Amino acid sequence: MPKIIRIGTRDSQLAMWQAKTVQQQLEHLGYETVILPVKSTGDLVLNKPLYEMGITGIFTKTLDVAMLNGDIDIAVHSLKDVPTTLPKGIVQGAVLKRGNTRDMLVFKNNEEFLSEKEAIIATGSLRRRAQWLNRYPTHKVVDLRGNVNLRLQKLDDNQDWNAAVFAAAGLGRLGIKPENSFNLDWMIPAPAQGAVMVAALEADETTKAILAEINDEHTQICTKIERDFLRILEGGCSAPIGAIAFVKDDEILFKGVLLSLDGSKRIDVTRTEKIGSHYNMAEFCANYIIERGGKRLMDEIKKHDKDIDVYATKSLSELQLQQFSNHLKIKCDDAIKISFNRLSPLVLKSTLKNVVITSQNAVESILNSVPAQELNFKNIYCVGRRTKKLIEQKIGPVKYSANNAKALADYMVEYLEGTEVTYFCSNIRLDELPQILTENNIKVNEIEAYQTKLDAAKIPNAVKGIMFFSPSTVESFIKQNKPAGTAFCIGETTAKEAKKYFTEVKIAKIPSVESVIELVNQHL
């Protein structure tokens, strides 16, 4: 054991704060120390998101090598940056008492963007990105890298950005508390967020004994559960995984989450155990996630950059994904993001003789604004079997439904009671209904019930088929991609839009997701 304990650390301001905290605790116990800062790959490469760099332990590898070479005796890390499996010969020597575990939003100007359809949020974390998009699906998330001060400067410099997400512990440790900021209590943090870990050589018994003196037992227990949960789920790939465990009244409370990369899919788990009965807690919670679609979700994440056969322009359920032929690789996400408008209760509660509803989103928007029992719709006309079912379940009887908007418009021209309709629609629509009604002297009062953002993913040109579920999904896809493969459409209106771009278009027998899947299996 050297006379002076050599403390290895990254040389960022935050890393130096952590190393000095370890130094103070060791010197308080009477040990002599010296801090030896080094640069890591993660600090040097700032032009790529972390998850694209493909290096395990990107912020810890340099220090691992230095310790194994005998250049330092211990290494200080943010525990959330440390791989769940340590290099051979290196062990966790201590975890300091944990700081603030939460994520913090730092925003510019005001918080009004949180209620708006469009906003730009910056973060380099897959986990933060996925949870933000899960809560605000129409927002845009951009990459943000660098140390804390550099990220704050980038936020200030980018005029189009509304806010950025930081670890509250990092800001607090640097004495930075932006006036325009608040904790995101709804966001589940990264496993071991807010914890500082000290690593040592497995063979160095003397140093390990010294580090045991500064170890915090509760923090060690909780972060081990979180990291074991991550290790069991992760399987070696980067994924949007959150986990937090804490001790309260001799019990450990745990929350975990796994999300898809775009935040559209989410699986949560909570668990409480007595201290002493917690040893299988991480395994139980990880298996709970896996058994409820987590395995399929992790497979999708691992295959994210691999070739795909079929791209679906809406998120599909676990049961729906299981219906595809085994040889097909499927990628799915919501090519359109929906945000409901606040509709006038005065209008909705008035007597509306003829109401036209062409989507389930319009139904949900109406019911988000006024309870069903306060609506006074006399005649309801709609498009689609599922829209009809939802209306009759939640609002009342449907006078007439059609498979597509044109067929509904043709019926209304002939049989409508009166010469005026109220049409609950989106800001984007490609159907012919308003035009046909207007041309036949029927007044159309349009109410924008929800807003649609075109947000399809960029996909490889070699894809064999695209699944479309509305004309808007076709428009969204074409904004980002060239037509490729076969277009599999849920109905005639969608197919009409697809035929503008695709040479081969197939239409499902009935307008349902399952029927489109059956169509894909038949042809691919």
User: What's the CA gap between 164 and 122, in Å, rounded?
Assistant: 4
User: What's the CA gap between 511 and 13, in Å, rounded?
Assistant: 58
Residue 31 CB partners (closer than 8 Å, separation 6+): 5, 210
Token pair in block for residue 7:
């403390």
156 included as an active-site residue? no
Element counts in the chain: helices (H) and strands (E): 19, 24
Query: In what order do the strands lie in the sheet containing 181-183?
Result: 140-142, 120-122, 163-167, 103-107, 181-183
Catalytic position from the list 43, 64, 73, 81: 81
Strands, E assignment, 358-406? 377-383, 400-402
| C-beta separation of 260 from 300 below 8 A | yes
Nearest 5°: the CA angle 54, 60, 64 is: 115
User: What's the CA gap between 278 and 252, in Å, rounded?
Assistant: 7
User: What's the CA gap between 431 and 434, in Å, rounded?
Assistant: 8
H or E stretch including 333? none
Per residue, the 3-state secondary structure of 111-171, as one string, reads: CHHHHCCCCEEECCCHHHHHHHHHHCCCCEEECCCCCHHHHHHHHHHCCCCCEEEEEHHHH
| C-beta separation of 264 from 333 below 8 A | yes
Residues recognised as catalytic? 81
